[in-house]
Amino acid sequence: MSISDLIRNKFTEEFTAISVGTLVTTLLLSFLLGLFVLVVYRLTYTGVSFSKSFALSLVMLSMVTALAILTVRSNVVLSLGMVGALSIVRFRTAIKDPMDTVFMFWSIVAGIITGAGYVTVALLATLLLGVFFMVIHLVTGRMNSSTYLVVIRYTQKAEGAVRSRLGSLGKYKLKSRNENLDETEVVVEAKLTQKNMDALAALLDVDGVDDVNIISYNGSTLL
């Protein structure tokens, strides 16, 4: 028997056939887990422009990863070839929001666990992560729910009125102050009630105040 025959027989012995039932079950479960990740992503999304393609990629990532792991665990030769193939792949898509990276990694991990055959672990881990993330999202959302950016443009003669009205807000943070020969623009961050908003809007009646903008703000995006 030649060396090539010995090698072929060795790897043939190590090969474990993947049944149609196993394949369908793995793909279906990874689809459901990826869909769950997508639902959590959609419910907690706070950005300005929702990307449908990125959301759909979360489901596909879970399914493709599960299929790859399912194949790798059944054949040593294929696993070595796949490692070599993946090592030359370069992903150049820019991820602007760090949370998008977290969701991508979550989807991939769910696919890895499913493809490895740990069905119970995959289900419990994915569901628990979803619950924990929703709780964190609700808590942080309530903390920032009343935070606004206030942009006021005024001339020098309205300086006193603007300072007085901002002082009535209590605690606020000055984000920027731009001045030129004609007018001044200040941007402050503060937690506002409806009464505060009405008081700031009344600044428009003050001589020298040109503009008052109140913008909903959650610390990272303008809504």
Per DSSP, the residues of 51-92 read -HHHHHHHHHHHHHHHHHHHHHTT-HHHHHHHHHHHHT----
Cα separation, 205 vs 67, in Å, equals 66
Q: Per residue in 111-167, pLDDT tens?
A: 989 988 888 999 999 999 999 998 888 877 655 546 788 889 988 888 888 888 888
Which tops the pLDDT comparison, 92 or 177?
177
Q: How many residues does the chain have?
A: 223
Residue recorded with tokens 């994915």:
126
**Predicted confidence band of residue 102 (pLDDT cuts 50, 70, 90):** confident
Q: What is the mean pLDDT of the chain?
A: 78
Cα separation, 132 vs 221, in Å, equals 23
**Domains of the chain as residue ranges with CATH:** 3-143 (no CATH), 147-216 (3.30.70.260)
CB 45 within 8 A of CB 37: no
pLDDT score at 47: 62
Helices within 97-206 (DSSP H only): 98-115, 119-144, 159-167, 194-201
Please state the pTM of the whole predicted model.
Answer: 0.59
Looking at the chain, the whole-number percentage of residues with pLDDT higher than 90 is: 17
Q: Per residue in 6-17, pLDDT tens?
A: 555 555 554 556
Cα separation, 59 vs 40, in Å, equals 12
pLDDT score at 223: 46
Sign, Cα dihedral of 80, 85, 88, 91 = negative
